[in-house]
Structure 1
Amino acid sequence: MTVDSQGTASAAPQDAPGRAAGKSQTPPSPSGSKEVLQPSRGRRSLPSGLLPYLLVAPALLSMAVLLLYPLIRNVMLSFQQLNRKEFITRETIWIGFDNYTDLLSDSQFWTVVVRSVVFTAVNVALIMAIGTGVGLLLNRLGKKMRLVLSLALMLAWAMPIIASVTVFRWLFDEQFGVVNWVMRTLGFSGYEQHNWFETGFSTLVIILILLVWGSVPFVALNMYAALTTVGTELYEAAKMDGASGWRTFWSVVFPNLKSFFMITTFLEIIWIFKAFAQVYAMNQGGPDRGSETLPVFAYIEGVGQFHYGVAAAISVLTIVMLIAVMSFYFRLILKQEEEL
């Protein structure tokens, strides 16, 4: 501000301190510039480098010690002549593929293979059919009855194998068995101290009933859990179209639960095919080795007959059969993933 000669004050353009300071400030960034976003402190980047391998190393090491090493040793034994003499003298005799050629040319081995395959097929078919039916029943029952049936299934599933085998042996006992008493009560003759373990076929039938009884809970409970994922509107649409219960199952339930049926079926194939304790504890593969499956056949050849090399070859061939089944299963899984 300046004062003229007449004493009046007039405003003069002067550099205000604030304006001067404003000149020294940084000019705003151009409109086209982008700001660099800093990563949020709450997020962490995925591990890279060797860290993932270090995290899974303990599991891989445990599998190598508990599974891979015994498998390698078993394969090595299958190429050796290891009988009672070699076992005592600790002598190693390599014979190449002789154990395999002897097995593949042995009619008894193929009899056991056919028996194991048929036994597995019948078991899995019954388990899947009965388990699916029980699962559908669980889906239709009320809350209280569903709870009761679920508890009964869980008790059957949780029973130890040897305990269940002992119970079944009591049920089919020739002198005090409940089954003989029931047959006599119903008026059937010839069941006075009837021996249900007299033949290999009847023994396998009893083992089949045991395996089905013990495996149905797994399928039924999983089936009920899978049914809860099917929308009720699909059932209502099928009902409005006049579809029967069987038609509803094949048109609504099965297409939506196709992956469940496939996975469960392959799991049951593996479970039944390698079942050992139930078959051996029931009648030790007898009578006259008439109820042997491949795992029991390998055990008796090795521990019972002291043919450890042959037993190792049998177990390797059993593993090869299971791998062939599993390869088919994984191929179906990959095909489904490609379709999705």
Structure 2
Amino acid sequence: MPTSGDLRFFALDSGRDFGQLVAQSLGIDLSPHEEREFEDGEHKARPLTNVRGKDVFVVQSLHGDPHRSVNDKLMRLLLFIGTLVDASAARVTAVLPYLCYARKEQKTQPRDPIATRYVAGLFEAVGTDRVVALDVHNLAAFQNAFRCRTDHLEANPLFVRHFASQLQGEDVVVVSPDAGGVKRAERFRRGISAALGRDASLAFMEKHRAGGVMRGGAIVGEVAGKSAVIIDDLISTGSTMLHAAKVCREQGARAVHAAATHGVFSSKAEAVLADPALAQIVVTNSIPPFRLSPALVQSKLVILDIAPLIASAIAAIHDDGSITALLEP
């Protein structure tokens, strides 16, 4: 997808590998930049090419890894965006395959923080013109938190294409692991139904949490004799997915597949995801599965590449095209 010469595309060092994939899909090179570390733990980054009057995009997935914490990545990105603004970029767009702190978007207890809104304020404070994010935890909260322009991308078309090829001839039920995810599951159900040429059904789990511990477990909908696809925005410990998978199997599902955009895979996810109740786990490369063993990744995990989707979104924004068209399977 050719782009005009006034586009600049950066990826900070911690996300350079993913940035290279996006750049390849765009048909351009990553714009050069420099990052320096100081002995006291401070750092700086600056572009090594002219950005004055340019349409600038910076991609950074805001997840922690063994080398950089979430907070470190966020701070580095904010400072770099501020530097680009001060260097007279015409527009700076932050492209965030994974947006940190998006799960804390409301007060669930007295005096709770609303972290999503605070993070939005930080991006606005350094002069970010637009934020592009992929499958945030709560879309309404994301859209309401930011006063700058936002675009929301979905991995749903990737999941539809993957499972349409895997489940030909199967009777499919799409399962939301909780009532709050029913809209997401319904979008996937419509897509997979169209792709398969027959209607998939919909079910959801009742789920309650008390003190961080999940309780409840009744399933609403028919899963017996069907191939179930449990779909969510992310997998952290994996306990929600596994609980839903076990209930589906107990209710007579033939096989249970799990799909989530973001594979956080924290805590005890390795043992949970290895459970035979889950036949397959499908995620995207918004977060590399560095917390899982290579054996589990090889045997059970399918990783879908979102770089072409990100590249298409960048090209559409740069050329004043449609983002909505990218959300269709």
TM-score band (shorter)?
under 0.3
Structure with the largest fraction of strand: 2
User: Which protein, 1 or 2, shows the higher relative CO under an 8 Å CA cutoff with sep ≥ 6?
Assistant: 1
TM-score, scaled relative to structure 1: 0.20
The TM-score, its normalising length taken from structure 2, stands at: 0.21
